[in-house]
Amino acid sequence: MPGSSDAPQPLEQIAGWGRHPIVPGRVERPEHLALPPGFEPLVPRGLGRAYGDAAVPARPGGRVVESTRADRIRSFDPATGRLHCEAGLSLAEILRVFVPRGWFPPVTPGTKFVTVGACVACDVHGKNHHRDGSFGNFVERVTLLTADGRLVECGPARERELFLATVGGMGLTGLIVEVVLHLRRIETPWIVLETQGMGSLEVMLEGLRLSAAHWPYTVGWIDCLARGRNVGRGILMRGRHATAPEAGARRVRRPARLRVPLDAPEWLLNPLFMRWFNGIYAWAHGRTLRRRVVSYDRFFYPLDAIAEWNRLYGPRGFLQYQCVVPRAAGVRPVSALLERLADAGAASFLAVIKDCGPASDAYLSFPLEGTTLALDLPYRGAPTENVLHDLNAIVMEHGGRVYLAKDAITRPEDFARMMPRLREWQTVRDRWDPARRFRSGLSVRLLGDPA
């Protein structure tokens, strides 16, 4: 049978969404998730939207098991929104199938091209974290294929430790094959969106805090090129699902998708141009409060409208960076991060800022109560990495951490400092995968796995 797992797979270049690093691997895309015969290490992979090395093989030529063809819905209960599906089902499919019936993913990251299995493995969060927490909060059960080849079910009440290690565990506890989660009821596919210009970081943080009380979705865009008294200047966005009267007679249109046909030249994203662009953008928006009704695609997934937008960063790719610092530390660490970025010669153009609610019980889950900042940096070798190590130093100093789904360069000792519960997680991993059958570029870099 062609495509069966004993056939040698051709080598493919495997990278995260940031296109750095790139490692050749042998990819299987089975319709039934299974462990390949033998004991060769493997890395689970979904739609490849993790930015760094989370779904990149541990060594050149390593095995990759991609879940995207294992995408069947096992059951759906229209009374409760309980969805049982295979791990390769994407949020895009869930939206396509269930939005017309009045259901929405309980938590969604900034792209819908992400599998449910990856949402669990990264314990993704979204614009509603301050209210609802991360994806794992809505997961009733995960079925794992563990290193010994067994199918193990875990959840908040059974095999709880394995569950807490798997949620946010970056696919390193076993192959996630099925997930039971709970969708959210919505009245319409539309979002009531309010935007407001914010003149400084203090105002932005205060705006997020005040909005959090009444709005399920909040987020801010910060102009990283603004200096001096303008540091932290940006636009606050808050949204909620529209009611039927608010939505009126709007018709849902299939969003047009553009494609970036080739790698952009590196001069396109130059600081002067972006400074000008950000300035115009901020000026055009002003300080006024605007309110309108937009599609969920526009609100949650603006970048998904451009296929392969990662190519805009040119052939060398980019690093995405996301960190969170505890609220107790106040504004200071956030402004320190922004200042360090600005010092770096306008390495980043735009940052996304968001306040997070309480942390989850999952050992390696990223969000904690505080402020999170996410940004892209075009990859230019060591100087780019140094900027991020400096940012990490600020984050660590204030008891914060980085998000593994986006990370490609954090050092193992720094990561250990950021994650107070890493030991507990390792104990669980030792029990379920002592031989490290599940390995990735990330686990080699951060956890000392053999390549």
Partner 1 sequence: MKVAFVGATRGMGRALARGLAERGDALFLLGRDPREMDLSARDLESRGAAAPVGHGSLDLARPEGFAGALDAAERALTRIDALVVTGGAFESQDDLSRDPARLEALLHANFTGTVLLCQQAAERLAARGGGLICAFSSVAGDRARRSNYLYGASKAGLSAFLDGLDLAYRDRGVPVLCVKPGFVRTAMTAGLPVPPFAGEPDAVARDVIAAMDAHRHVVYAPSVWQWIMLIIRALPRAVLRRVRF
Strand ranges, E, within 150-263:
151-154, 175-182, 184-185, 190-198, 217-223, 234-241, 258-259
Smallest distance, partner 1 to C-beta of residue 75, A: 6
Closest CA to 11 of 27, 30, 22, 34: 27
Strand ranges, E, within 327-440:
350-356, 370-378, 401-402
Smallest distance, partner 1 to C-beta of residue 46, A: 16
Nearer to partner 1 by Cβ, of 73 and 269: the residue is 73
Nearer to partner 1 by Cβ, of 76 and 277: the residue is 76
Nearer to partner 1 by Cβ, of 6 and 214: the residue is 6
Smallest distance, partner 1 to C-beta of residue 169, A: 26
What's the burial of 331, exposed, middle or buried (CB within 10 Å: 0-12/13-18/19+)? Answer: middle
Cβ atoms of 23 and 441 closer than 8 Å: yes
Cβ atoms < 10 Å from Cβ of 35: 21
Nearer to partner 1 by Cβ, of 138 and 415: the residue is 138
Smallest distance, partner 1 to C-beta of residue 399, A: 44
Cβ atoms of 216 and 240 closer than 8 Å: yes
Q: At what angle do helices 332-343 and 382-397 cross, to 10 degrees?
A: 170
Nearer to partner 1 by Cβ, of 97 and 422: the residue is 97
SS3 290: strand
Looking at the DSSP assignment, which residues form a beta bridge with residue 219?
A: 237
Smallest distance, partner 1 to C-beta of residue 85, A: 8
Nearer to partner 1 by Cβ, of 8 and 245: the residue is 8
In whole angstroms, what is the distance from residue 96 CA to residue 242 CA?
Answer: 18
Nearer to partner 1 by Cβ, of 258 and 289: the residue is 258
Cβ atoms of 216 and 131 closer than 8 Å: yes
Nearer to partner 1 by Cβ, of 96 and 287: the residue is 96
Longest Cα–Cα distance of the chain, Å, equals 65
Smallest distance, partner 1 to C-beta of residue 9, A: 6
| Alpha helix stretches (DSSP H) within 123-224 | 129-132, 160-166, 201-212
Smallest distance, partner 1 to C-beta of residue 102, A: 14
SS3 66: strand
Smallest distance, partner 1 to C-beta of residue 89, A: 9
Chain residues that interact with partner 1, rule: CB under 8 A: 1-3, 7-10, 28-31, 69, 72-76, 97
Smallest distance, partner 1 to C-beta of residue 68, A: 10
Smallest distance, partner 1 to C-beta of residue 2, A: 6
Amino acid at 208: L
Nearer to partner 1 by Cβ, of 180 and 226: the residue is 180
Distance of CA 202 to the CA centre of its chain: 26
Q: Could you give phi then psi for residue 14, rounded to 5 degrees?
A: -110, 130
In whole angstroms, what is the distance from residue 152 CA to residue 173 CA?
Answer: 11
Smallest distance, partner 1 to C-beta of residue 162, A: 25
Q: Measured between alpha carbons, how far apart are the two ends of the chain, in Å?
A: 31
Nearer to partner 1 by Cβ, of 2 and 261: the residue is 2
Cβ atoms < 10 Å from Cβ of 291: 10
Nearer to partner 1 by Cβ, of 31 and 148: the residue is 31
In whole angstroms, what is the distance from residue 349 CA to residue 409 CA?
Answer: 20
